[in-house]
Amino acid sequence: MEFKVANPEGLADAAKWLIDQAGNKRVFVFQAPMGAGKTTFIKAICEHLQVEDSTSSPTFSIVNEYRSEHGPIYHFDFYRLKQEQEAFDLGYEEYFYSGDYCFIEWPEKIPNLIPEDAALVKIEVSDDQSRTIILK
C-alpha cells in the first residue's frame, strides 16, 4: 500500500492513513535514507495519536516516551548503536512486546530483534522532493 505526500502539509493525512491501514499493528519500523523525513513523519503520527508531549528525535537518548490517550508511545532511534547488545541493555523487549505503539528508526541496526509482526514503513524520496510512504 502506498501514500503519496507532495509536501509537509500532507503528512497529517499520511499519518492517519498509516494508522488506519495498519489495523492492530503497534510496532512500526521505518526504513529510509538519512534526511528522508522519518522523524518528521513520526512526529505527524504522534500528533494524529494525540500525543500530549513535545516530540523530538531520540538520537542521543535512543528512546523517547510520549503520553497519549492511547497509552504510552515509544519512539526509538537506533542510529548510534554499534551492536545489538546495546538494545538488550536498554530492555527493548519490554517496549516492543508491551502492546503500546513503538516507532523505530534505523531498524537495520537491530535486525534480529524486530518482532516478526512489525509493520514495515518505507519512505522513498522522489526527484521533485515528494515522498512515497509504503506500508508492508
Q: In which element (H, E) is residue 87 found?
A: helix 85-90
* Sign of the CA dihedral running 110, 116, 118, 121: positive
C-alpha cell recorded at residue 42:
513520526
pLDDT digits (tens, 9 = 90+) for 78-117: 999 999 999 999 999 999 999 999 999 999 999 999 999 9
Taking 80 as the threshold, does the pLDDT of residue 59 lie above it?
Answer: no
Q: Which three cell numbers stand for residue 68?
A: 497519549
Q: Return d(Cα 120, Cα 27) in angstroms, integer.
A: 9
pTM of the model: 0.95
pLDDT value, residue 96:
98
HEC letters along 35-48: CCCHHHHHHHHHHH
Q: At what angle do helices 11-22 and 38-48 cross, to 10 degrees?
A: 70
Phi, psi of 28 (to 5 degrees): -125, 130
H-helix or E-strand spanning residue 95: helix 92-96
User: What mean pLDDT is predicted for residues 43-72?
Assistant: 92
